[in-house]
Amino acid sequence: MEWVNAIVQGILLGGLFALFATGLSLAFGVMRFGNLAHGDLAILAAFLAVSFASTLDVNPFVTMALVVPIMAAGGYVLQRFGFNWSIGADPLPSILVTFGLAVVIQNALLEQYSADSQGLDVGSFETRSIEFTDDIAVGWFPVLILGVAVVVLVGLQLFLSFTRMGRAFRATSDNPSTARLMGINDRNIYAVVMAIAFATVAVAGLFLGIRQTFGPTDGPAQLIFAFEAVVIGGLGSLWGTLLGGIILGVAQTVGNQVDVEYNVLSGPLFGHLIFLVVLAVRPSGLLGRSQQ
């Protein structure tokens, strides 16, 4: 039974990983843009929520109404007037630029908030659960995270498949210069993509902040999980990202069940192993489009 519980908890944890990976997956899928500051952006969003929650004296869930639009606007502006210059055939400039951004965010947070651990308190909701058997209890909050992750990923997939804007995303992704000939402003498309990416990572950051405590330098650890979820699931495939996140989550909880002693390795280790195996056997990921 405890194995069933480990898998159930892992699937729920995977929801958070998938939500983290969404923005990364989208940005990579549409513009081949690897954002190394992705994890730090999540932490930044969580810190913003801490500030709003304490100054406005509201529930952290309410701060989402402020933090998500602010992050989205920030993503749009940053892409439109910054990152767009680094997009091209060579992936190196974007990696360098976002690496720099990551360092800036970490140190700015350290300067502003100190190295203290922060948490977002949502009261008893965080500890409420549904008990199925003595061994298996499912918390409402992890269920909410997984639910939001599924809604966000399904919503984005539908958006890409069925809307005009979504078609423009795909067209730009396939061939930016042809898309430009058809009257699509690719620079604007990129900025909108980044706005969506920032919005999703803000949601992920808030959930992380409610789930556990966080400090200014916790971003890079989140980035690794996000990257692995994207690669396992398949570059550019949103369904794959959901699957990748869940596989990582299950690997971590089942790894802990095997032996918590080595969980600095074992939880993440199983995740890393799966990541390497996928990379070796199926470089385009489980559900990835094969690259030509």
Binding site for other proteins (CB under 8 A): 2, 5-6, 9, 13, 102-103, 106-107, 110-111, 114-117, 119, 121, 124, 126-129, 131, 134-135, 137, 139, 141-142, 211-213, 215, 217, 220-221, 252-253, 256-257, 259-261, 263-264, 267
Closer to other proteins at the Cβ: 90 or 116?
Answer: 116
190 CB-contact burial (10 Å; exposed 0-12 / middle 13-18 / buried 19+) = buried
Residue with smaller CB distance to other proteins, 135 or 174 = 135
The sign of the torsion formed by the CA atoms of 230, 232, 235, 237 equals: negative
Shortest approach of other proteins to residue 73 CB, angstroms? 27
Nearer to other proteins, 264 or 281 (CB): 264
Q: How far is the CB of 257 from other proteins (least distance, A)?
A: 5
> What's at 276, amino acid-wise?
L
CB of 264 to other proteins, least distance (A): 4
The nearest distance, CB 106 to other proteins, in angstroms, is 7
What are phi and psi for residue 36, nearest 5 degrees?
Answer: -75, -10
Nearest Cα neighbor of 28 from 98, 77, 103 is 98
E strand or H helix at 137: strand 137-139
> At its nearest, how many Å lie between other proteins and the CB of residue 253?
6
For residues 10 and 234, which CB has a smaller minimum distance to other proteins in the complex?
A: 10
CB of 69 or CB of 119, closer to other proteins:
119
**CA–CA–CA angle 239, 245, 250 (5° rounding):** 130
